[in-house]
């Protein structure tokens, strides 16, 4: 048995070995010793740890064997096939710039860079590595955990291109910086490893959006890592929108390094994708930092949407807030895993975590797991989770005023989602996301007859705990 397993693992890794040796020969920056060893070390580590299994505590509720089994090949030169016309629906007006990446590669000719505001620099990471590697070296791979996290190791091994965003000290960029990631598999399983580096220097402000879409319904595996460095007193809002095709695999990690009194908000909106894992990992390094992690996931069919939070309080007097709402229908499976680590010196920490879920069918499932590790003694940490259904009383109340059942359901779902929207600052990003959520919820609410047939009669269970 064990032998068989080992053999499988080796076969699984073989494709990656081939891909990696080929990648190393032509990768951008291969002549840079630091980058070369970063990649090699990460790849060696990936081979050692292999893909996680459900025995791994951090992956208990998410089985990635479908990713491990599939022989993905590195997607290359895909962007030649994307036309401006195909891009049309994904264009967003009013942004500072829209950078387009096709299978993780920066496509300058598809991007709109316009007149960039003063203090903002954006580029493809590959180009930046070639042009000014000295800007990249101090940050790339310095924050993300490649030792224990196989996907981060894999991404780092193949780190070559993605977005590079730099906001100069004191600069305030008011329009959103929009990063559009298009994956395309055509018919053969393909993988991409977009690697983004966002450096917001001291006292700067910016809004960054990562939007993940699919060009075609093929089996694409997108494994993203974003390292976001927020300098002292920087204010950064980060949005992640997942709306890929249902066959897509999307693993993403947002690793945030926060300086003194820096304020970072991370908003994740998971609407699409087949198997999705969204890791958000802020480390509050400087005193007085503030971090809000806000998320909404809406799943139906056989979607699996996993939200993994790891908030590390490493300095005193930092606040962190996690709010995640999930709406699950059909056979969808949602996961909320909120881990908070309060390190020894992080006195006066104030950490809060809330996860609320609506299950709309008998088959939909949510696993919610708080995990608090507190090594300081003067801290405030609370967590709570609820699981329920659409309230029949509320539905009847709306209907009794003339609102039809589908609209009433949609209204109630939207009200639930609004809790997350309300935590986003007013502006075009929020409006854009509101439109996407509306569309998704309409599809869910529209199936109300089906929902009715499977309506859960049992009472919602809920628990609330304080520590």
Partner 1 sequence: MSLLEIKNLYVEVDNHEILKGIDLRVNAGEMHSIMGPNGSGKSTLAQVLARRESYNVTTGEVFYDGKDLLAMKPEEVACEGIFMAFQYPVEIPGISNAYFLRSALNAIRRHRGLDEVDAMDFLPMFREKLKLLDMDEKLMNRSVNEDFSGGEKKRNEILQMAVLEPKLAILDETDSGLDIDAMRIVAKGVNSMRSPERAIVVVTHYQRLLNYIVPDFVHVLVNGRIVRSGGPELALELEEKGYGSMEAGARQATSA
d(CA 456, CA 448): 13
157 belongs to the binding site for partner 1 (CB under 8 A): no
Tell which one of 41, 186, 350, 405 touches partner 1 (CB under 8 A).
Answer: 405
Nearer to partner 1, 406 or 436 (CB): 406
Nearer to partner 1, 2 or 457 (CB): 457
Q: How many helices and strands, by DSSP H and E, does the chain display? A: 11, 22
369 within 8 A of 340, measured Cβ to Cβ = no
Tell which one of 371, 386, 407, 443 touches partner 1 (CB under 8 A).
Answer: 407
d(CA 382, CA 467): 6
Tell me which residue of 419, 412, 403, 410 sits closest to 442, measured CA to CA.
410
Tell which one of 60, 168, 246, 399 touches partner 1 (CB under 8 A).
Answer: 399
Say how many C-beta atoms besides its own lie within 10 A of residue 205's C-beta.
Answer: 19
Least distance (Å) from partner 1 to the CB of residue 408?
A: 8
Tell me which residue of 39, 171, 179, 74 sits closest to 123, measured CA to CA.
179
460 belongs to the binding site for partner 1 (CB under 8 A): no
| Cβ contacts of 324 within 8 Å, gap of 6 or more | 293, 294, 295, 296, 297, 307, 309, 336, 338, 354, 355, 356, 420
Nearer to partner 1, 109 or 393 (CB): 393
443 belongs to the binding site for partner 1 (CB under 8 A): no
Nearer to partner 1, 399 or 447 (CB): 399
Tell which one of 22, 404, 464, 465 touches partner 1 (CB under 8 A).
Answer: 404
Nearer to partner 1, 278 or 354 (CB): 354
Say how many C-beta atoms besides its own lie within 10 A of residue 344's C-beta.
Answer: 10
| Cβ contacts of 138 within 8 Å, gap of 6 or more | none
Least distance (Å) from partner 1 to the CB of residue 299?
A: 20
d(CA 407, CA 171): 44
Q: 2: buried, middle or exposed (CB in 10 Å: 19+, 13-18, 0-12)?
A: exposed
d(CA 353, CA 322): 5
Take residue 34 and report the two structure tokens written for it. Answer: 């630091």
Tell me which residue of 269, 260, 349 sits closest to 311, measured CA to CA.
349
Nearer to partner 1, 107 or 390 (CB): 390
Within 368-397, which residues bind partner 1 (CB under 8 A)?
391, 393-394, 396-397
Least distance (Å) from partner 1 to the CB of residue 416?
A: 6
Least distance (Å) from partner 1 to the CB of residue 412?
A: 7
Nearer to partner 1, 23 or 416 (CB): 416
Q: How many residues sit close enough to partner 1 to count as binding (CB under 8 A)?
A: 22
Tell which one of 172, 398, 428, 436 touches partner 1 (CB under 8 A).
Answer: 398
Binding mask 5-44 for partner 1 (x = CB under 8 A): ----------------------------------------
Nearer to partner 1, 115 or 400 (CB): 400
Q: 442: buried, middle or exposed (CB in 10 Å: 19+, 13-18, 0-12)?
A: middle
d(CA 6, CA 195): 30
d(CA 125, CA 420): 31
296 belongs to the binding site for partner 1 (CB under 8 A): no
Least distance (Å) from partner 1 to the CB of residue 359?
A: 18
Least distance (Å) from partner 1 to the CB of residue 418?
A: 5
Least distance (Å) from partner 1 to the CB of residue 411?
A: 6
Task: Choose the binding region for partner 1 from 275-283, 363-371, 373-381, 401-409 (rule: CB under 8 A).
Answer: 401-409
Nearer to partner 1, 4 or 426 (CB): 426
User: Which residues face 384 on adjacent strands?
Assistant: 354, 464
402 belongs to the binding site for partner 1 (CB under 8 A): yes
d(CA 302, CA 275): 9
Task: Choose the binding region for partner 1 from 58-66, 248-256, 275-283, 398-406 (rule: CB under 8 A).
Answer: 398-406
Within 174-193, which residues bind partner 1 (CB under 8 A)?
none
The DSSP code sequence of 397-439 is: HHHTTT--HHHHHHHHHHHHHHHHHTTSPSSHHHHHHHHHHHH
Angle formed by the axes of helices 428-446 and 405-421, to 10°?
Answer: 150
Task: Choose the binding region for partner 1 from 50-58, 139-147, 331-339, 407-415 (rule: CB under 8 A).
Answer: 407-415
Within 410-439, which residues bind partner 1 (CB under 8 A)?
411-412, 414-416, 418-419
Nearer to partner 1, 55 or 401 (CB): 401
**Cα–Cα distance list, 168 to 48, 111, 205, 234 (Å):** 39, 22, 9, 10
Least distance (Å) from partner 1 to the CB of residue 402?
A: 4
Judged by the rule CB under 8 A, the positions of this chain that interact with partner 1 are 391, 393-394, 396-405, 407-408, 411-412, 414-416, 418-419
């Amino acid at each position: 048995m064990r032998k068989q397993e080992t053999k499988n693992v080796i076969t699984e890794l073989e494709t990656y070995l081939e891909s990696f040796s080929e990648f190393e020969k032509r990768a951008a920056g291969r002549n840079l010793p630091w980058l070369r060893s970063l990649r090699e070390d990460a790849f060696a580590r990936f081979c050692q740890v292999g893909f996680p299994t459900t025995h791994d505590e951090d992956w208990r509720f998410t089985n990635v064997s479908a990713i491990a089994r599939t022989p993905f090949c590195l997607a290359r030169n895909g962007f030649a096939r994307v036309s401006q016309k195909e891009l049309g629906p994904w264009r967003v007006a009013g942004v500072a710039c829209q950078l387009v990446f096709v299978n993780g590669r920066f496509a300058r000719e598809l991007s709109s860079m316009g007149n960039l505001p003063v203090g903002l620099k954006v580029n493809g990471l590959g180009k930046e590595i070639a042009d000014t590697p000295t800007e990249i070296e101090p940050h790339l791979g310095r924050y993300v955990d490649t030792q224990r996290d196989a996907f981060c190791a894999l991404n780092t091994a193949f780190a070559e291109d993605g977005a590079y965003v730099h906001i100069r000290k004191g600069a305030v960029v008011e329009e959103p910086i929009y990063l559009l990631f298009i994956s395309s598999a055509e018919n053969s399983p393909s993988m991409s490893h977009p690697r983004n580096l966002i450096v917001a220097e001291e006292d700067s402000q910016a809004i960054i959006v990562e939007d993940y879409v699919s060009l075609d319904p093929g089996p694409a595996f997108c494994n993203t890592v974003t390292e976001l460095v927020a300098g002292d007193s920087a204010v950064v809002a980060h949005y992640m929108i997942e709306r890929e095709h249902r066959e897509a695999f999307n693993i993403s990690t947002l690793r945030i390094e926060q300086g003194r009194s820096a304020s970072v908000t991370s908003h994740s909106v998971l609407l699409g994708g087949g198997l999705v894992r969204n890791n958000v990992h802020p480390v509050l390094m400087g005193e007085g930092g503030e971090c809000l992690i806000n998320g909404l996931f809406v799943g139906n069919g056989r979607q699996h949407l996993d939200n993994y939070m790891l908030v590390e309080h490493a300095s005193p007097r930092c606040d962190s807030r996690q709010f995640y709402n999930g709406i699950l229908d059909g056979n969808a499976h949602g996961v909320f895993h909120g881990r908070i680590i309060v390190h020894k010196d992080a006195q006066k920490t104030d950490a809060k975590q809330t996860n609320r879920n609506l299950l709309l069918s008998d088959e939909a499932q949510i696993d919610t797991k708080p995990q608090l590790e507190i090594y300081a003694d003067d801290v405030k940490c609370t967590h709570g989770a609820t699981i329920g259904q659409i309230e029949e009383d509320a539905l009847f109340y709306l209907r009794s005023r003339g609102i039809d059942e589908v609209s009433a359901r949609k209204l109630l779902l939207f009200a639930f989602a609004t809790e997350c929207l309300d935590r986003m600052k007013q502006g075009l990003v929020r409006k854009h996301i509101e439109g996407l959520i509306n569309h998704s919820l309409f599809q869910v609410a529209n199936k109300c007859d089906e929902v009715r047939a499977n309506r859960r009669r049992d009472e919602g269970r809920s628990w609330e705990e304080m520590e």
